[in-house]
């Protein structure tokens, strides 16, 4: 309630000048928006230590289906090989994990690092 509201305007469903009339529904709307972001995500695992991509960054992703067999596994029907327009687009980095596994030989010291990204898409 703002200072200029009178005593008879105590309802939270009316515009008070200081807050929106539906501010009490914002908590649920934010929960719905968060669940929408969890619908479509990609886990990307790369060899090596990649510190150039940080959490919260927006990156373009282009997914390519190399053959009809691969497309059939993903979609359940036959489509031509090529770019997957539906899943390609802008994703944001929701999380980054760095791991180190002891290399099998001394020549592969950098190969021991693994970086895993969780990319989520905003519709």
**Angstrom distance (rounded) from CA 108 to CA 100:** 12
pLDDT at 81 over 90: no
- Structure tokens that stand for 109 in this block: 């010291």
Q: 18 in a domain, yes or no?
A: no
Name the residue among 81, 85, 116 with its Cα closest to residue 101.
116
pTM beyond 0.75, yes or no: no
Asked if residue 110 is part of any domain, the answer here is yes
In a domain, 44, yes or no: yes
What is the band of 8 on the pLDDT scale with cuts at 50, 70, 90?
low
Of 87 and 76, more confident? 87
Q: Which of 63, 61, 116 is nearest to 94 (CA)?
A: 116
Cα–Cα distance measured from residue 114 to residue 97, given in angstroms and rounded to the nearest whole number? 8
Is 21 a member of any domain? no
Kindly tell me the sign of the dihedral angle through the C-alpha atoms of 33, 34, 38, 44: positive
Residue 17 domain-assigned?
no
- What residues make up the domain containing 67? 40-121
Q: Is the pLDDT of residue 84 over 90?
A: no
Question: Is it the case that residue 1 has pLDDT exceeding 50?
Answer: no
Question: What CA–CA distances, in Å, run from 33 to 37, 51, 56?
Answer: 7, 29, 16
Please write the tens of the pLDDT for every residue from 11-69: 555 555 666 777 788 888 889 888 887 888 899 999 888 899 999 999 999 888 776 55
Domain count, the chain: 1
Burial grade of 123 (CB within 10 A; 0-12, 13-18, 19 or more): exposed
Contact present, 96 and 55 (Cβ < 8 Å): yes
- Residue 106 within a domain: yes
């Amino acid at each position: 309630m703002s200072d200029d509201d009178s005593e008879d305007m105590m309802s939270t469903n009316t515009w008070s000048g200081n807050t929106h009339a539906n501010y009490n529904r914002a908590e649920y709307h934010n929960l719905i928006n968060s669940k929408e972001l969890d619908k479509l995500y990609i886990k990307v695992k790369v060899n090596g230590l990649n510190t150039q991509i940080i959490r919260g960054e927006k990156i373009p992703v282009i997914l390519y289906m190399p053959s009809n067999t691969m497309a059939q596994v993903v979609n359940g029907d036959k489509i031509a090989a090529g770019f997957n327009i539906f899943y390609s687009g802008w994703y944001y980095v929701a999380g980054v994990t760095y791991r180190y596994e002891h290399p099998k030989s001394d020549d592969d010291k950098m190969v021991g690092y693994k970086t895993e990204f969780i990319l989520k898409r905003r519709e």
